[in-house]
Structure 1
Amino acid sequence: MRSRISTASTTTGCTSSAGRERSRASLIRMSPSPGRVIGIAVGALAILGIGVYGPAMLLGPLPDVQVRVDTAQASAPATTSVVLPADDASAVAFIEDDGQAALVAASADDEAAPIGGAAKLVTALVVLDTLPLTADDDGPDIRIGPEDYTDYLRYSAEGSRTVQVSPGDSWTERDVVRAVLLASSNNHADTLARWAFGSVDAYVTTANEWLDEQGLTSTSVADATGLSGDNVGTATELTRLAGLALAEPTLAAMLEGDSGAPTPSDDRRIPDAIAHLGDEGIRAISRSFTDEAAITFVWTAELRSGDERRTMVGAMTGVDDYDTLDPAVIAAVEGMQAASEPIEVIAAGASYGEVTSAWGDRAQLIATAGRTDAAFGAVAEDASVDVEPFTTSPVGRQVGTVTVAIGEREVSSALELDRAITDPGPIWRLTHPGLLIGAFLDGNA
């Protein structure tokens, strides 16, 4: 018994040892070699490259084109400036569609100074603002009293402008306004102020309040006539007063030689004493001389450019004599006429720059429409080119605008490409990962 047990035990031990050896050999055969590990890694990366990198590069966003502005084409177009006398206060403006005077140029010494008879423009405007006239109405009758007649005698003796009146006369409001505007009658200015406001002092208070309401902060009046040196203003604000006078239907009709509806008041003869330089196409709005103000001249003229017509106004104060005034006014009108001629601001078909893609495609930025404008003395700025970011585009597509500012106005035209910017294709995409990744990051910034 002992012998069999010993044999069995020995046999079992041998069998277990052999099994362990076989298991160890099997495990060795199943373990991958280093070469195989590297192969598996390379294969995995290849699969990832094909599955991720390729689609990312082929379908990812492209970088935006680069824009280069043609500085020569975009440089400011030449404009004509309006030259005004250097020694006297002067200003010129053109009348906008809303009736306001838009300043074009003013002399350097455009400071508040006596304005003489131009103060009568304030008188007429303030009275008509308070007691307006309609086209078919001459307004109430104004009876000439002793104070009105005394004014006539006093101003006549002083050598100031007057229109004769007699005690007991009856003038319509329209006729008195005509005498103030066209004849620059001092006695009628006082009569109109007293009739409308009760006294000249009451008129002065109301008139200065009206000037403040109009934003004419440099202009103030001390009487209804302008004879006092305390009636002051600037040439610039006188052009605005001229614009207001032209916008007031009653005054505009009088300046055009039409006093209104054909009523008996038209029979009253009132001289057009302010008329000056009419042969030059100039319509005087106010013309006066005082010791304090010297010559003050306010005028209007029509500017023509082809079929277009524009109205200008101008003012000069402190001029010593008509030999100085007349050529200066004519030169200012001629300068405004030259400045009103349209200039080519944007040239149709001109290239205002170039776009370049990262893969080498190029296209010119072409203005689709030409633009002209009258500068009226304003300085045109360099063209501003604005291009929306893009990567590819067909030919002829609008990609931006070109804009030129002239003073407070702007003109613009669309910009289109003269050739297509196309997709660079798969080879370029696959070989320029840095640019594509950068474009992706920029788009998600």
Structure 2
Amino acid sequence: MRLVTVRPAVIRPSKKRRLGRRITLAVVVLLAGLCVFQFVRPLPDASVRLQLAELPQAKAATLNWPNNARAALAANGYGMLGTHGSTAPLATASIAKVIIALCVLEKYPLNPGEQGPTITMTWRDRALYEEQIQQNGSRIAVRQGMQLSEYQALQALLIPSANNIADSLAIWAFGDHPNYARYANDFLQRHGLISTKVGSDASGLSPTTVSTATDLARLGLIARKNAVLMEIAGQKSVTLPFAGKHTNYNRALGKAGINGLKTGNNEANPGALLFTTDAIVSGHSIELSGVVMGAATLQDALDASVALAASVTDDFEHLTLMTSRQRVGTLTTAWGVEVPIRLKDSLSLIRWKEQAVTARHTIQPAIGTSAQSLGVLSVRAGEQTASSILEITEPASGPSWQWRLTRFR
């Protein structure tokens, strides 16, 4: 008898069942991968909303403008603060001497304490002096062979307003008057004083040298940058070789803070003063330049300039617009958590009242889960600006796992 081994039947899954298992496995792998992807992919940027208080608007200034003259006022760091009266060019009179002083100092610069090169008077300089006697112009006595340092010549130019020294300096520094006029008019163009023109003399006695109140106020700001010129313009008197002692025509010096610059009067412009002063606002000094021109007399121009200078300070104001750590906005994360946006530093500035305050900002993309800088907030009034960093100091908590799994962006 023979034994027979019976093997159990192998039941093979059907093709349909095998396909189902594969699909199930693929779905599981796909879901697992999707979960991992949702957890590891970068979080989206938050949205930012700034909430700023209303900023100060412009106010009317209360300057004491002259009744019957032209005037203008400018400040370093603020630009032109205001103008009054006609804007047409008018003879500068002796304010033209500020132009030749700047041109000479540009070509032959002096540092404080220096006398500079020596200028020897010739027969031509004596003739210029005698010419001013005939024209009844302001002058100092000179003689052939007399010597002045450059510094002394500038003193004679600006303090007793010597017309003859203006023309002598033009010849000494530039060779003759036409060369000086070309240099001076180029100087004016380079500095944006496009309504000012040097005419037939260097002193301003001739009405052919003209300017506007706006240009002359700007000229004063240019002059303020030269320490030697300003030192001389602030001196009340000078004693010169041969010529003796002379008093400054600018009798407004020391009044209402006026510390310079130059008087002027001729037939076309009987009374003018280009003046400089400083406004002290909350301990800060603001450099100003102003001019009164076309007044009936020189004394009228001096009085009007003092009144104008005295009225300036009240039209500046120190503003603290926002404080350090102040909340100025909200960052909202993609998952809905809100955190405050704060200023790192306070924002304050000194503004001229007629200049409105505006704000602008730059924002960098951020998620919001870490303390960080977000950008910069800046405020401006005219040319004055202040800026502070915008930052998050209280970062948001991270998203939940449910949000991570179900997020769409």
Return 57-66 or 250-259, whichever deviates more: 250-259
**Map of 1:287 onto structure 2:** 263
Partners of 1:324 and 1:264 in 2: how far apart? 29
Say which of 20, 44, 47 aligns to 2:28: 47
**Map of 1:427 onto structure 2:** 402
TM-score by length of 1: 0.74
TM-score by length of 2: 0.80
Say which of 62, 71, 91 aligns to 2:43: 62
Kindly indicate whether residue 129 of structure 2 is the aligned counterpart of residue 153 of structure 1: no
Larger strand share, 1 or 2: 2
Q: Measured at CA, do residues 209 and 68 of structure 1 come closer, stay the same or move farther in structure 2, by a change above 3 Å?
A: closer
Larger helix share, 1 or 2: 1
Task: String of CA shifts for 1:265-320, please: whole Å, max 9, x gaps.
Answer: 49920111123263222134112223323432211112223443332212233344
Displacement, 1:347?
A: 2.3
Question: What is the number of equivalent residue pairs in this alignment?
Answer: 393
Partners of 2:305 and 2:143 in 1: how far apart? 40
**Map of 2:119 onto structure 1:** 140
3-state secondary structure, aligned to 2:32: helix
**Map of 2:5 onto structure 1:** none
Kindly indicate whether residue 308 of structure 2 is the aligned counterpart of residue 370 of structure 1: no
Partners of 1:147 and 1:185 in 2: how far apart? 14
Partners of 2:165 and 2:221 in 1: how far apart? 23
**Map of 2:205 onto structure 1:** 227
**Map of 2:166 onto structure 1:** 189
**Map of 2:96 onto structure 1:** 119
**Map of 1:388 onto structure 2:** 364
Displacement, 1:116?
A: 1.9
Q: Is the Cα–Cα contact under 8 Å of residues 178 and 270 in structure 1 kept in the other structure?
A: no
Q: Report sequence identity in percent.
A: 24
Task: String of CA shifts for 1:400-427, please: whole Å, max 9, x gaps.
Answer: 3222233345321122225321221111
Say which of 223, 230, 236 aligns to 1:252: 230
Structure 1 stretches lacking a partner, 5+ long: 1-24, 97-101, 437-445
Code of the aligned partner of 1:426: W
Partners of 1:155 and 1:374 in 2: how far apart? 48
3-state secondary structure, aligned to 1:360: coil
**Could you say what the CA RMSD is over the residues aligned between the two structures, in angstroms?**
3.7
Task: String of CA shifts for 1:71-102, please: whole Å, max 9, x gaps.
Answer: x42x4345666556498543333346xxxxx6
3-state secondary structure, aligned to 1:383: strand
Partners of 2:323 and 2:58 in 1: how far apart? 15
Displacement, 1:121?
A: 1.3
Q: Is the Cα–Cα contact under 8 Å of residues 197 and 203 in structure 1 kept in the other structure?
A: yes
Partners of 1:37 and 1:313 in 2: how far apart? 95
Code of the aligned partner of 2:35: G
Displacement, 1:328?
A: 5.5
Q: Is the Cα–Cα contact under 8 Å of residues 331 and 338 in structure 2 kept in the other structure?
A: yes
Q: Is the Cα–Cα contact under 8 Å of residues 259 and 266 in structure 1 kept in the other structure?
A: no
3-state secondary structure, aligned to 2:205: coil
Q: Measured at CA, do residues 334 and 55 of structure 1 come closer, stay the same or move farther in structure 2, by a change above 3 Å?
A: farther
Structure having the higher Rg: 1
Q: Measured at CA, do residues 184 and 326 of structure 1 come closer, stay the same or move farther in structure 2, by a change above 3 Å?
A: closer
